[in-house]
Amino acid sequence: MKRNALAVLSSGLCLLLAACAVVTPTPTPTPLPPPRPVLATATAIPRLREPVTLTLWHTEPEGSPAAQLLADMARRFHAEHPWITIEPVYVGSYEELYRKALAAVRAGNPPDLATAYPAHIAGLMAAGGLVPLDLYAEDSELGLSPEEREDFFPGFWQANLYPEFGGQLLSLPYVWQALALYYNATALKAVGIEAPPRTWDEFEHACYAASKGDVTGYAFVDSGITLTGWLYSRGADVVDADGASATLNGPQGVESLELLLRLLDTRVARRLEGEGSDRIAFAGGKAVFAMAGTAELAAYAEQIGKAPKPFAWGCTMIPQLDGANPRTVAWGAGLCIFRTSEARQQAAWRFVRWFNDTKQVAEWASTLGLAPVRRSAVEQLAASGWLAERPVTKEVYDTVIPYAYPEPPLAEGPVIRRALEDAWLGLVSGVWDTQDALDMAAGRVNEALSQ
């Protein structure tokens, strides 16, 4: 399959972009696929310790909590690896970083590391700017043992394996979150529902039961990523395993959109406009359910804290087809390494690996409200008592994070997300029926994939 990843990214670049909790049963996560065998050549990597200063391009605004923590981590890493200095440099948004990085690659003077969306990582790899990380990850001393790989939640490891490039490891996690269901436990209990819905049938019933007067069951904004999560929850994907063709227009997609139409037609769901409008409706007691990223947990808690009538609430896995094999969508960014010299690349790998060690993952996630990508990080936060003090966060860690799987890590990612969003918009606007909306989206995705 012929790909022009840079052309696709150029056309789609602008498109990318504590309270009481009711505990729900925790299903068993899908196991991580067996790790690739250690390469026989892995031990051939020379151990280089020459002094080096590395530039890390990132998107955290100066003075922000994330920028401050990243700088502090760079200092601590240097204290442990005195021959390596990390210089974090803020270069703007993810789109700005990608444009600048691509230009730097073409000019022959790239940074050493960067934080980037998966679609941008694919584009930089297509431009010859990145070094695959497999050799470092499989090294007997510098790499990750099979047990360490298994410690990553499956979806957050999968997010770094790129089908366009033979499934090579092109990054390790940086910032991630997952789609979750925010629910008003007080409103549900008032209508005799003791736990949040686990299936779509239960969700639909709860929306009917809890809608009354100016209170709606489900408040939403048009979102391609939400529709992706709905597909995942029904056992479907947006593209096939090879990333070669769209699969989003199958019966699972039709069922998802027909559910949305039923909720709208019966006025137990309400379409809102504007970023955060669904959160405002939920916090104000005007909606019983909302679906949003787990990174918004703090924003929800703050908004609910301002509500005139306090209520118990929680955040859990989105409804599923049957609840036996839960799945939701995750999105975020990775840390990638640019092709420079072996000494610089090896030093950069040491930092990327260190950043993804248990201690750092636990600190990064707990401080910034991001997904803890490793099981041991969750265990560490539980052992410290931190999770026990945050029941809603614990609910997220128990019911959502282990079952989150990424959007396809393809250069065409922005096109896929926008096509899904347009299908959603066309449907609720009455422009298309469900199958036509999804067929339109699939056609656009296939066109992009074929370039």
Upper half-sphere CA count for residue 182 (Cβ side, 13 Å): 28
322 and 423 both lie in a single domain: yes
d(CA 204, CA 319): 10
> Given pLDDT bands bounded at 50, 70 and 90, which one contains residue 260?
very high
298 and 198 both lie in a single domain: yes
Q: How far is CA 268 from CA 70, 253, 300, in A?
A: 44, 21, 22
Coil, strand, or helix at residue 136?
helix
Assigned domain for 4 exists: no
Q: Is pLDDT above 80 for 1?
A: no
Q: Is pLDDT above 70 for 220?
A: yes
Are 84 and 350 a contacting pair, CB within 8 Å?
A: yes
Q: How far is CA 226 from CA 95, 319, 417, 438, in A?
A: 22, 12, 10, 14
Burial class (CB in 10 A: 0-12, 13-18, 19+), 383: exposed
Coil, strand, or helix at residue 198?
coil
139 and 247 both lie in a single domain: no
d(CA 403, CA 192): 28
pLDDT at 426: 86
pLDDT at 314: 98
Are 159 and 330 a contacting pair, CB within 8 Å?
A: yes
184 and 322 both lie in a single domain: yes
283 and 413 both lie in a single domain: yes
3-state secondary structure 74-113: HHHHHHHCCCEEEEEEECCCHHHHHHHHHHHHHHCCCCCE
270 and 347 both lie in a single domain: no
pLDDT by residue (tens digit) across 108-125? 999 999 999 999 999 999
Mean pLDDT over the full length of the chain: 90
**What would you report as the CA-atom Rg of the chain, rounded to the nearest whole angstrom?**
22
322 and 343 both lie in a single domain: no
Q: Per the structure, how many domains does the chain have?
A: 2
pTM: 0.89
d(CA 387, CA 393): 7
pLDDT by residue (tens digit) across 276-320? 999 999 999 999 999 999 999 999 999 999 988 899 999 999 999
314 and 441 both lie in a single domain: yes
Assigned domain for 381 exists: yes
Q: Which residues make Cβ contacts (< 8 Å) with residue 43, sequence separation at least 6?
A: 139, 140, 141
Q: Which residues make Cβ contacts (< 8 Å) with residue 193, sequence separation at least 6?
A: 206, 209, 210
379 and 321 both lie in a single domain: no
57 and 159 both lie in a single domain: yes
164 and 227 both lie in a single domain: no
pLDDT at 49: 82
DSSP code of residue 16: -
pLDDT by residue (tens digit) across 315-358? 999 999 988 899 999 999 999 999 999 999 999 999 999 999 99
Assigned domain for 3 exists: no
Please report, for the domain that includes residue 315, its CATH number.
Answer: 3.40.190.10
Residue 436 is part of which domain span? 177-328+409-449
Q: Which helix (H) or strand (E) holds 72?
A: helix 65-80
pLDDT by residue (tens digit) across 42-65? 445 677 788 999 999 999 999 999
pLDDT at 24: 38
Assigned domain for 402 exists: no
pLDDT at 287: 98
Assigned domain for 246 exists: yes
Assigned domain for 129 exists: yes
d(CA 173, CA 374): 10
pLDDT at 44: 52
Are 139 and 89 a contacting pair, CB within 8 Å?
A: no
pLDDT by residue (tens digit) across 167-186? 999 999 999 999 999 999 99
Are 231 and 445 a contacting pair, CB within 8 Å?
A: no
Q: Is pLDDT above 90 for 137?
A: yes
312 and 343 both lie in a single domain: no
Residue from 321, 201, 305 nearest 263 by CA: 201
Are 60 and 362 a contacting pair, CB within 8 Å?
A: no
d(CA 386, CA 283): 25
Q: Is pLDDT above 70 for 163?
A: yes
d(CA 432, CA 96): 35
Assigned domain for 27 exists: no
Assigned domain for 195 exists: yes
